[in-house]
Amino acid sequence: MEENKRNFLVQNGVDVEKGIENTMDFETYNEILLEFCNTFPEEVNKFNKFKQENDMVNYEIIVHALKSNCRTLGFTSTGEMFYQHELASKEGNSAWVSEHYNELINEVNRVYKILMTYKGME
Mean pLDDT in consecutive groups of 10 residues from the start of the chain, 122 residues: 92 97 96 96 95 96 97 97 98 97 97 95 78
The structure's pTM equals 0.93
Instruction: Spell out the domain ranges in the chain.
Output: 2-119
pLDDT at 115: 95
Q: What is the CATH number of domain 2-119?
A: 1.20.120
What sign has the CA pseudo-torsion 64, 65, 68, 73?
negative
Give the separation between CA 64 and CA 94, rounded to whole angstroms: 16
pLDDT at 32: 97
pLDDT at 1: 76
Give the separation between CA 51 and CA 29, rounded to whole angstroms: 30
